[in-house]
Amino acid sequence: MKIQELNAWEILDSRGRPTVAVEARLEDGSIGQAQVPSGASTGTHEAVELRDGDPHRYAGKGVLRAVSHVTGEIAAAVKGMDAHRQSALDRRMIELDGTPNKGRLGANAILGVSCAVARAAAASSKIPLWLHLAAGRTASLPVPMVNILSGGHHASHNIEFQDFLALPHGFATFAESIHAAAAVHKAAYDLIVEAGYTLTGVADEGGWGPLLRSNGEALDLLSKAIERAGYRPGEQVSIAIDVASSHFFRDGRYHLHTEGRILSGEEMVEQLVDWCARYPVISIEDGLAEDDWDHWPRLTKALGGRVQLIGDDFFTTNVARVRRGIAERSANAVLVKMNQIGTLTETLEVTGVALAAGWRAVISARSGETEDAFLSDLAVASGAGQIKVGSITRSERLAKWNRLLELEAKGGLTLQPFGA
């Protein structure tokens, strides 16, 4: 079915910053909309998010230029193309942009079109989005990774590590997994209040962001919260952390101020090994910095046999970086964020390359999100097996969990066991 028209406009994300919304209309009248997310702790190698830079609107963060690229140049180039041929559409936009990082038209413009057209194509075929995206792959519900405590860029730099997440890996259904994560979230709240910490609402992704003394203290608190909620750590609910270490890496060293230590790459690896021995940590994201290629293989050698080691800022959903990581045994999993690369086709390619190499893939939201739950369908369709969208508060997060609960309730999809 041919693309007839693209419309686009500026909306606000969950931090109150502008982002792009796109609507695609096909010749049969089918319509698809998509909203583009936005990160705060972004990787250097991400595709470009085009901002207006006009200081009189949203402190320069407006996206009217990206919007006009959708309705102008991109619409002119893709009108008449077949909405069911996603890779041809995405290739056309990449060529039209002409830069290696989508810096001319903006990854926010291109991704909006990529996803809106996929939705319209699904509507035209009268099938759910996940089934359209699966295109022959085995679809399954992902295990959720749920933010409980936040730090770093998402919580006013209280502590260095960015996310302390509950990973409910010992349950048969998605609904039971979310239930366990919600119970841990509540138990963590009770422990924080009992310990006398002041809480002033939730952090950017809906987790608690108390002013803890150190990263170690956060690990301690989360371990206790899992037990307080009545679960066996390591068996039913374990810990995942997003160290987001690029954001405290300077001059070749890791600056862990709250621990009172500045570490070399080797020492950072030792520190992570030690934390995994002391706490039920089974997944570490960005344990090392985005260009610390030398130390990533050492971390993988030390922990890769028993801990999931994910590259987020390290790989930026970029297939060339993931291929290098596979060749150098740098990690064993990739975080997949559509707007880090800017098209649906490239996103699915990265996921496919990772899974084919025996790696794991985690489909992820951004810290700046919208009510769009596209990535829930993407997680199901890609067979990635895991998803990370923040906590169990804030509706931009719940849109994603609730979509997965809906898909499970309607039947026909089962939870992919963790690590399978």
Active site residue 205: yes
Q: Tokens in use for 269?
A: 């690896």
24 within 8 A of 6, measured Cβ to Cβ:
yes
Q: Assess 204 for contact with Zn ion (CB under 5 A).
A: no
Question: Closer CB to Zn ion, residue 46 or residue 242?
Answer: 242
CA distance 209 to 192: 10
Query: Which of 6, 13, 21, 39 contacts ligand PGA by CB under 6 A?
Result: 39
Q: Assess 312 for contact with Zn ion (CB under 5 A).
A: yes
Q: Assess 242 for contact with Zn ion (CB under 5 A).
A: yes
Q: Assess 312 for contact with ligand PGA (CB under 6 A).
A: yes
CA distance 235 to 10: 45
Q: Assess 40 for contact with ligand PGA (CB under 6 A).
A: yes
Question: Closer CB to ligand PGA, residue 242 or residue 408?
Answer: 242
CA distance 272 to 259: 13
- Pairing mode, if any, of strands 261-263 and 253-256? antiparallel
Q: 343 contacts which partner out of ligand PGA, Zn ion, none, CB within 5 to 8 A by kind?
A: none
Question: Closer CB to ligand PGA, residue 196 or residue 201?
Answer: 201
Q: Assess 19 for contact with ligand PGA (CB under 6 A).
A: no
The Cα-based distances of 6 to 48, 127, 198 in angstroms read 21, 21, 47
Q: Tokens in use for 116?
A: 């809106």
Q: Say which residues have a Cβ less than 8 Å from residue 143's Cβ, sequence separation at least 6.
A: 167, 168, 169, 174, 177, 385, 386, 387, 415, 416, 417, 418
Q: 377 contacts which partner out of ligand PGA, Zn ion, none, CB within 5 to 8 A by kind?
A: none
Question: Closer CB to ligand PGA, residue 14 or residue 114?
Answer: 14
Q: Which of residues 160-179 bind ligand PGA (CB under 6 A)?
A: 162
Query: Which of 14, 19, 30, 41 contacts ligand PGA by CB under 6 A?
Result: 41
Helix/strand/coil for 396? helix
Which residue of the set 46, 49, 160, 205 is catalytic? Answer: 205
Question: Closer CB to ligand PGA, residue 162 or residue 215?
Answer: 162
CA distance 287 to 309: 8
Run of H or E including 167? strand 163-168
Q: 366 contacts which partner out of ligand PGA, Zn ion, none, CB within 5 to 8 A by kind?
A: ligand PGA
Interface characters, 206-245, with ligand PGA (x: CB under 6 A): ------------------------------------x-x-
Kindly list the residues in this chain that would bind Zn ion in the complex (CB under 5 A): 242, 285, 312
